[in-house]
Amino acid sequence: MNDVFYERYKQIRDRAFEFSNIERLCSFLPLKEFIDQEKLKAGDIFEFGFQLGIDMFLASDAEYINLSTEDTEIIGRILFNLIEREKDPAEKLLKQIQREAVIGIFGHTSTEVLCEILNSLTDRTLKEEKCNPYSKEYYRKYIKVKSILERMGKEEREHIQRELASGDIDEGANYYYY
């Protein structure tokens, strides 16, 4: 693993932190606004995984803004099959890291644990690769998400309000939400 690999890994990891923190604050639906359409068109596993998850949710009759465990497993299998086509070992590992990030975020894995999962896929130890999942950029994204929520339709906001009221979000999310 070389410096180019680690630079790409850090970009993936930081993007995963952004998505994870936003998901913890208010669900994954606002993430649709953050999907990079150029990367999606280029077949990026991370962007494709999130678009797939959002599409699956919107096609379902789910009561809360969460994907079922079964939906998350289906997304994981689809991404796994796409990754298996990759021949370059370094590129394949980066795609596996993206897959783990998508599955972890849809599975509501805390950002701190997600950091450990992603780092465990590289040969860097946690001491060498420190994670700061709550950067200034995170707070900028939070403000943007709030503005997206304000623009959402009544039905979408009600879904989010039901999820927040149900108590299905973790305490860390409550802390940063208020």
Cβ proximity of 103 and 78 under 8 Å: no
What Cα–Cα distance (Å) separates residue 34 from each residue in 5, 50, 169?
A: 24, 10, 21
Domain boundaries defined on the chain: 3-177
Q: What is the pLDDT along the chain (178 residues), one digit of tens a residue?
A: 788 998 999 899 888 988 888 887 777 777 888 899 999 999 999 999 999 988 888 877 666 566 778 888 999 999 999 999 999 999 999 999 999 999 999 888 888 888 888 888 887 655 555 565 555 565 566 556 666 666 666 677 666 656 655 555 444 443 333 2
The verdict on pTM exceeding 0.85 is: no
The whole-angstrom separation of Cα 109 and Cα 3 is 28
